[in-house]
Structure 1
Amino acid sequence: MVKIASGSLGDSFSVGSLKAYLSEFIATLLFVFAGVGSAIAYSKLTADAALDPPGLVAVAVAHAFALASAPLSPASSSNSSQVLRASRLMELQQGMNAVEGVVMEIVITFALVYTVYATAADPKKGSIGTIAPIAIGFIVGANILAAGPFSGGSMNPARSFGPAVVSGDFSQNWIYWLGPLVGGGLAGLVYGDIFIGSYTAAPVSEDYA
Structure 2
Amino acid sequence: MTKIALGTSGEATQPDCIRALVVEFISTFLFVSASVAATVAAEKLAAGAMVGLIAVAVTQALFVAAVVPAAHISGGHLNPAVTLGLLAGGHITVVRSLLYWIDQLLASSAACFLVQYLSGGLRIPVHSLGSGVGHFQGVLWEIVLTFSLLFTVYGAIVDPNRGAVDGLGPTLTGFLVGANTIAGGAFTGASMNPARSFGPALISWNWTNHWVYWVGPLIGGGLCGLIYQNCFIVKSHVRISTEEGAY
Q: CA deviation at 1:81?
A: 4.3
Q: In the TM superposition, what whole-angstrom CA distance separates every residue of 1:50-102 from its partner, at most 9, and x where no partner exists?
A: x511111111111111101257xx9861255421xx22xx1111100111000
CA distance in 2, matches of 1:154, 1:63: 11
- Mapped pair 1:62 → 2:59: yes
CA distance in 2, matches of 1:63, 1:5: 31
Query: Scaled by the length of structure 2, what TM-score is found?
Result: 0.72
Secondary structure in 1 matching 2:160: coil
Listed as ranges, the gaps of 5+ residues in structure 1 are 203-209
Q: CA deviation at 1:147?
A: 0.4
What amino acid does structure 1 have at the position aligned with 2:52?
G
What amino acid does structure 1 have at the position aligned with 2:53?
L
Q: In the TM superposition, what whole-angstrom CA distance separates every residue of 1:145-199 from its partner, at most 9, and x where no partner exists?
A: 11000011000000000111111111111100101100001110111111115x1
User: CA 1:39 to 1:12, structure 2 compared with 1: closer, same or farther past 3 Å?
Assistant: same
Q: CA RMSD in A?
A: 2.1
CA contact (8 A) 2:40 2:123 kept: yes
What amino acid does structure 2 have at the position aligned with 1:152?
G
What amino acid does structure 2 have at the position aligned with 1:78?
S
What amino acid does structure 2 have at the position aligned with 1:179?
G
CA distance in 1, matches of 2:12, 2:161: 28
CA contact (8 A) 2:40 2:122 kept: no
CA contact (8 A) 1:104 1:179 kept: yes
Listed as ranges, the gaps of 5+ residues in structure 2 are 71-110, 239-247
Structure 1 stretch displaced more, 154-163 or 6-15: 6-15
CA distance in 1, matches of 2:172, 2:204: 32
Work out which of the residue numbers 204, 207, 210 in structure 2 matches 1:173. 210
CA distance in 1, matches of 2:207, 2:65: 29
CA distance in 1, matches of 2:196, 2:34: 10
CA distance in 2, matches of 1:201, 1:35: 42
